Amino acid sequence: MSNVLIGIIGVILFIGLALAGALLLGDDFKSANNDTKAASVVQALTQTVNAVTMHNIKTGAPRSGEAVGTSTTLIPRFLKAAPLNPLTDTYNLQLVDSAGAVSANPATGAVMLLGAIANNEARAVCDSIQRQSGQIAATDAYQATNRSLAPSSWPTNYGCFNTTTNYYGYHKI
């Protein structure tokens, strides 16, 4: 009989410890997921910018703005595969010109739409990208920047900003 009581007490303690751990560490697990997605966005942007730079060097002609999807001519010579957005599982990376538009003009930046302003996950990932890029310190809160898609308005080589409607990850070429 005492073995059964000790077993029940052990199970109750185990469940209590599991709940306490989830309450104490839950935010750390959430931020780790956002940090992973932010690193994936930065990696996709960096690889695409490197592919564009290599294209410009090898062909001698600047790459024009375009939506980088599975049909881009950067694949397979300069880019192994089209970059996939980890938040939306879509191909929504764009090469933009100096005005922030996808046009026939030379591309000077790459942007990836993360989500709408109302999307909390997009904001958290944007916050993590800002920390990784040095836009804000590790202990600072997210800085709403309300910038344009024009690369000249971007404060660092890569990072994140928001417009009035969306969050974007960016990388200068």
So what's the pLDDT on residue 27? 54
Sole residue written with tokens 């839950």: 26
For residue 103, give both structure tokens. Answer: 């046009």
Q: What is the 3-state secondary structure (H, E, C) of the chain?
A: CHHHHHHHHHHHHHHHHHHHHHHHHHHHHHHHHHHHHHHHHHHHHHHHHHHHHHHHHHHCCCCECEEECCCCCCCCCCCCCCCCCCCCCCCCEEEECCCCCCCCCECCEEEEEEEECCCHHHHHHHHHHHHHHCCCCCCCCCCCCCCCCCHHHCCCCEEEEECCCEEEEEEEC
Mean pLDDT of 132-154: 73
So what's the pLDDT on residue 138? 63
Q: Where are the domains of the chain?
A: 28-172
So what's the pLDDT on residue 135? 73
So what's the pLDDT on residue 58? 84
Q: If pLDDT is split at 50, 70 and 90, which confidence band does 22 have?
A: low
Between 3 and 98, the higher pLDDT residue = 98
pLDDT in tens, 66-83: 888 777 877 888 788 888
Mean pLDDT of the chain: 78
Between 28 and 136, the higher pLDDT residue = 136
Kindly tell me if the per-residue pLDDT of 19 is higher than 70: no
| pTM score | 0.73
Q: If pLDDT is split at 50, 70 and 90, which confidence band does 152 have?
A: confident
So what's the pLDDT on residue 84? 83
- Identity of the residue numbered 159: G
